[in-house]
Amino acid sequence: MQYITVYSILTDSARIPWIHLFSGLVIFPIFMYAVWRKGPRVMLWPLLGWGLVWNGITIPCSWHMQSAHVEAQNLLRSGQCQEVAGPIEQFAPMPYGGHAQESFFVKGVHFDYSDSNNSKPGYNKSESHGGVLHKGISVRLKYHKDSILQIEVPKVEDASVKQSH
């Protein structure tokens, strides 16, 4: 059976919270400078504390997300990931409003993910937001731990292309 790849972490970018990094590394220093130059000096210490906490959380978390993404890409490239193929069973879709995990099984292997959870690398697009995984379809998944690294579906032959001899 031939498969086509419909998702691969190799063509996906890490879900880094760029707006948070930008806020802490660009906006915050500009704001600190403005307060230092013209604002009430009493605000400098609380602002500095807030900036250190903000960047102390955002920078390491972003670094971890990027590192985990690169590690997952390397695992897929090197073939050091698990593989399972079969129909999707016990599919529990995430509601359009979110706040739940979409989950399913393939040959007894459990998978779950959510659009709103960017803490792990790999596939996370729910069916309600245009995801490619649905109840009953056959898939071949390459995964590591609880991250889906690649999704393949069987190639469907187009009946109109068949040649008659």
Low-confidence ranges of the chain (pLDDT < 50): 158-165
Strand order across the beta sheet in which 138-144 lies: 3-8, 147-154, 138-144, 82-92, 102-106, 109-113
CB atoms within 10 A of CB 132: 13
Q: Both tokens of residue 99?
A: 């706040």
pLDDT at 152: 96
pLDDT at 43: 86
pLDDT at 164: 40
pLDDT at 160: 47
pLDDT at 49: 94
pLDDT at 165: 41
d(CA 78, CA 110): 23
d(CA 145, CA 112): 11
pLDDT at 15: 85
Q: What is the pLDDT of residues 53-91, one digit of tens each?
A: 999 999 999 999 999 999 999 999 999 999 999 999 999
pTM over 0.75: yes
pLDDT at 163: 42
Q: Is 141 exposed, middle or buried (0-12, 13-18, 19+ CB in 10 A)?
A: buried
pLDDT at 121: 94
